[in-house]
A and B are shown apart, each in its own frame.
Chain A
Amino acid sequence: MTTTAPKKKGRALNSSYEAAIVLKEYWEGAARHRAEGRPVAWVSGNVPIELFWALGIYPVYPENYSAVCASIQRAQELCEEAEERGYSIDLCSYSRVNLGIVLGKGVDHPDLPYGGLPRPDMLVTTRIPCLPQVKWWEVVREFFDIPMFVVDATMVDLPIRESQRQHYLGQIRELIPCLEKKLGVRFQEDTFLETLKLSDRAAEIWLELLDLRTAVPSPVGSREMCGNVFPLVAMLGNPRTIEFFTHLRDEAKQCVQEGKGALENERIRLGWDNIPMWYNLKFFSDVEDRNAIFTYETYLRYVWGGRMDLNDPWTAFADKHLDVWLNYSINQRVRTLLHDIVKFKLDGLVFHQNRSCKRFSMGQRDLAQVIQENLGVSSLFIESDMADPRAYAEAPTRVKMEAFLEMLEGKKS
């Protein structure tokens, strides 16, 4: 093991303590749903999540479960289980953790967090985040011998082409009857549109919360916010998400109005690109000792929870799922970052070269170069992994980070 368990620090927002409760409720809800004989689907990031809540199908996120395993320092042993079965160490660590569980001791082994993963009745994924997700699902599909549906999408340069939008919606029109037939549920458009409203409301509050972090000093840093994001991933369309995000937003708003920041003496503002190192969220809070704060993350802003114009709900639904960071070309990522670095008043960017997520890591070198040339904002690269701690080297990374902060402090003064 090359890192240590995160050290607990106090939260800047008291509402952030609610995140663990919401997460526990979600996983307990999944187990209850399964126990009651209601349908459970394993899904992946950027699936059309609102459909599942509208149809009464519990959407279970093995990706989140892998992140949970990483956060309690269990990922490595599970990755090794998958590797022993021939799965390359170069494959996504979320998939290796999950395949380690599925092909190893099994999804309901009592040793697992939250009592294990509820068995799926069906698998649904999409090519939007990546391809390894689909290859991973193929193995799971064969293990459980259950149906699988893949929602396709090709990458976009905004604005989205009408043909891409219609292709996406065409597949949603295939997915709905497939879910009805395979899982015995019934689609009702009214219910779905209500779910979209709940989803959009949650996204609106979340984006308000993120925008509050443009304030100087910033009310809350990345460590807390990465812990808070889960309902935006898995629970869009569930009213509990609105409740939780409202608490966060209102508290952050009050902090900003009072001029109260997460740090007493904020001097350096940082942005983060890529999925966090879930086994080492402490990385974010360690910089606070040097009066630096991570106040912006592409992962929290452009991967989950885009807004929808509900006057044209189906178009908005398609666009929301296509218009995400992981589906952007490098050119689109450049345009977005140049805008946000100014908006969030960032002094520096930290790019996580994530061995497990090439889709997220695509183009980071070119992004850093453009940012430096256009805005004079410097970047730091950290080579690591989102769930497999073997890819993280604590000492050299800390030294690099220290040097980066010193350089930014020098620029400031």
Chain B
Amino acid sequence: MAALEKFEHWYHNRHEYAREWKKRTGGKVIGTFCTYVPDEILTAAGMLHSRILGSHEPQDVTEPHIFGMFCPFCRDSLAQGLKGRFNYLDGIVLAHSCIHYRQTFDSWRAHIPTEFTYYLPMPNMVQSPSAKSYYVGEVAKFKAALEEYAGKKITDADLDRGIELTNKNRRLLHKIYEFRKTDPPKLTGTEALYIATTAQFVDYEEHNKALEEASEEVADRTVDRDPGIRLMAVGSENDDVEFFKMVESVGATVVIDEQCAGTRYFWNEARIQPDRLQTISDRYVERPPCPTKDYPERQRFPHVLQLAKDYKAQGAIIMQEKFCDPHEGDNPVLKKYLEDNGIPTLGLEFDSTNPLGPFRIRVEAFLETLRTDDLF
């Protein structure tokens, strides 16, 4: 299998991968809710970080627990648990972010038998001077809880290994994303989505190895498709591959993203400091923020714009997960901000399953307006 194909294979066979990993290593698999869970600690403990994602299939099992007015991604995630698709998990961890995720986590631990459950009170107000000193204490408690659960100390050498593997993964993801900057881009948005999303549930050593091989493959690649318009994808938790495929089939390439299933997960490395836990916890306080943690100053908007500029995006699709209020609050202002800075936008409202036909018409119309700009 070519290296690039591995990511697609992992994406579609994530459960088989986790079961096989568990059998092969004898290690624990811990389901993670939200990209704010410090995967370094899980890796240091010899556990597999396994991001709980939805399936983009219709489901009818969550209504007894979550109202339909909660975000479809969180409902889809709980549905996967209720259907037993994550029955190999030994534990689950939530890092505090939004109320939708909290509901999913609470319902999961109430209704799906799980050995280890942990709520990590990640601060919201990451711009507060006290955020770092508070969070390092919480990360220390999380580490202690994992040690107690596993019956084994996490040593400094373990932490070093966790930090190095995750940082290396971030560096390699950056490196392969560089191929999206070229004209034409050597990597499609669909391929990038497979690559970035799988980092959230594949063993870092394996993922890093595949990234190194894939980078070599992509470097030698000759692009034989017309890339069309260069687009950016902005949103929350949008790993709907079929949507990306559709966009890239109508005369566009998604060259960069700003979302949890992409850059927001890996964009910054942990800065190495003498205190290992501070190294880890600061990384999450300093990372490009989710809208749930972006105040009082808006730090996310300039970051989004800079990504658009660096990757020469000609337009942006703002993917609004329905009922995701953190993004609903930002999007009218973000739309204006991008447009005032020369990046036209198209807003689409996403559910777990999306109407690709109507979306196709809207994307095509958007691309048409961008091409018109070129004409005149």
* The one of A91, A161, A174, A364 that contacts B67, using a Cβ cutoff of 8 Å: A364
* Residues of B272-304 whose CB lies within 8 A of A: 291-292, 295-296, 298
Chain A, interface residues (CB within 8 Å), range? 35 or more
Q: A170 near B: Cβ within 8 Å? A: yes
A85 touches B332 (CB 8 A): yes
Q: B230 near A: Cβ within 8 Å? A: no
State how many angstroms separate the Cβ of A63 from the closest Cβ of chain B: 15
Q: Which of B82-90, B115-123, B168-176, B262-270 contacts A (4 or more CB under 8 A)?
A: B115-123
Given known contacts A142-B333, A167-B130, A132 and B325 CB-to-CB distance under 8 angstroms? yes
Closest to A364 in B: B67
Given known contacts A139-B333, A163-B137, A174-B130, A365 and B99 CB-to-CB distance under 8 angstroms? no
Closest to B330 in A: A135
* Residues of B95-152 whose CB lies within 8 A of A: 96, 98-100, 102-103, 106-107, 110, 119, 121-125, 128-131, 133-134, 137-138, 141
B110 touches A366 (CB 8 A): yes
Closest to A329 in B: B106
Given known contacts A154-B121, A174-B128, A353-B69, A90 and B325 CB-to-CB distance under 8 angstroms? yes
Closest to A138 in B: B295
> How many Å lie between the Cα of A155 and that of B122 in the bound state?
10
* The one of B65, B130, B320, B335 that contacts A365, using a Cβ cutoff of 8 Å: B65
B121 touches A164 (CB 8 A): yes
* Cβ–Cβ < 8 Å partners of B322 in chain A: 90
B69 touches A355 (CB 8 A): yes
Mark contacts of A85-115 with chain B using CB atoms, 8 A cut-off: 1 yes-contact digit, 0 otherwise.
1111011100100000000000000000000
Number of B residues near A (Cβ < 8 Å) is 48
B328 touches A88 (CB 8 A): yes
Q: A149 near B: Cβ within 8 Å? A: yes
B326 touches A135 (CB 8 A): yes
A134 touches B295 (CB 8 A): yes
Given known contacts A154-B96, A329-B119, A361 and B67 CB-to-CB distance under 8 angstroms? yes
Q: A369 near B: Cβ within 8 Å? A: yes
Closest to B96 in A: A154
Q: A404 near B: Cβ within 8 Å? A: no
Q: B70 near A: Cβ within 8 Å? A: yes
* Residues of A397-412 whose CB lies within 8 A of B: none
Mark contacts of A106-137 with chain B using CB atoms, 8 A cut-off: 1 yes-contact digit, 0 otherwise.
00000000000000000000010011101111
State how many angstroms separate the Cβ of B332 from the closest Cβ of chain A: 3
Q: B21 near A: Cβ within 8 Å? A: no
* Cβ–Cβ < 8 Å partners of B325 in chain A: 90-92, 131-132, 135, 358
Q: B243 near A: Cβ within 8 Å? A: no
Closest to B122 in A: A154
Closest to A353 in B: B67
State how many angstroms separate the Cβ of B289 from the closest Cβ of chain A: 12
A91 touches B328 (CB 8 A): yes
The listed residue with most A CB atoms (<10 A of its CB), out of B103, B295, B329, B330, is: B329
* Cβ–Cβ < 8 Å partners of B329 in chain A: 87, 91, 95, 131-132, 134-136, 138-139
State how many angstroms separate the Cβ of A324 from the closest Cβ of chain B: 14
A135 touches B125 (CB 8 A): no
Given known contacts A87-B332, A92-B325, A359-B99, A155 and B69 CB-to-CB distance under 8 angstroms? no
Q: B250 near A: Cβ within 8 Å? A: no
B332 touches A148 (CB 8 A): no
* Cβ–Cβ < 8 Å partners of B129 in chain A: 174
* The one of B133, B141, B328 that contacts A87, using a Cβ cutoff of 8 Å: B328
* Cβ–Cβ < 8 Å partners of A132 in chain B: 325-326, 328-329
* Cβ–Cβ < 8 Å partners of B106 in chain A: 329-331, 362-363, 366
* Cβ–Cβ < 8 Å partners of B296 in chain A: 138, 141, 147-150
Q: What is the interface of chain B, defined by CB distance below 8 A to chain A?
A: 63-67, 69-70, 96, 98-100, 102-103, 106-107, 110, 119, 121-125, 128-131, 133-134, 137-138, 141, 291-292, 295-296, 298, 320, 322-323, 325-326, 328-333, 335
Q: List 21 A-B contacts (CB under 8 A).
A: A87-B329, A88-B320, A88-B328, A127-B125, A130-B99, A131-B326, A131-B329, A137-B295, A138-B333, A148-B296, A154-B96, A157-B119, A163-B137, A167-B123, A171-B125, A171-B128, A329-B106, A358-B325, A361-B67, A365-B67, A366-B110
Additional 17 contacts, C-beta under 8 A, given A152-B123, A154-B124: A88-B331, A131-B329, A135-B325, A135-B328, A136-B329, A150-B128, A154-B123, A157-B119, A161-B121, A170-B134, A174-B130, A329-B106, A330-B110, A358-B325, A363-B103, A363-B107, A365-B64
